[in-house]
Amino acid sequence: MKLVPFEDYTLISNLSPEEVKKRLEEKLNLKRRTAFISFRPQLDTDRPYEGAFRGNKFVIKRIINYRNSFLPEITGVVTHEVVHTAIKIKMRMSVFVCVFLVIWLLLMSMILFSVKSSTGADIIPLGIFGNIPFLSQALLCLLMYAVTLGAFKYESMKSKKFLAALFEGREEGK
Q: What gap in Å lies between CA 44 and CA 54, rounded to an integer?
A: 22
Task: Assess whether pLDDT exceeds 80 at residue 142.
Answer: yes
pTM to 2 decimal places: 0.78
pLDDT, tens digit, for every residue of 146-168?
999 999 999 999 999 999 999 99
Number of domains in the chain: 1
Residue 127 predicted with pLDDT over 60 = no
Mean pLDDT of the chain: 81
The string of pLDDT tens digits covering residues 17-26 is 999 999 998 8
Q: Which residues pair with 116 in a beta bridge?
A: 122
Predicted confidence (pLDDT) per residue in 27-70, tens digit: 888 765 554 445 555 556 678 899 988 889 999 999 888 888 88
CA 49 to chain centre: 15
Q: Percent of the chain scored above 70 by pLDDT? A: 75
Question: pLDDT at residue 74 above 90?
Answer: yes
The whole-number pLDDT of residue 39 equals 52
What digits encode the pLDDT tens for the residues 85-106?
999 999 999 899 989 988 988 8
What contacts 109, CB < 8 A, 6 or more positions away? 141
Which range of residues forms the domain containing residue 108?
A: 1-174
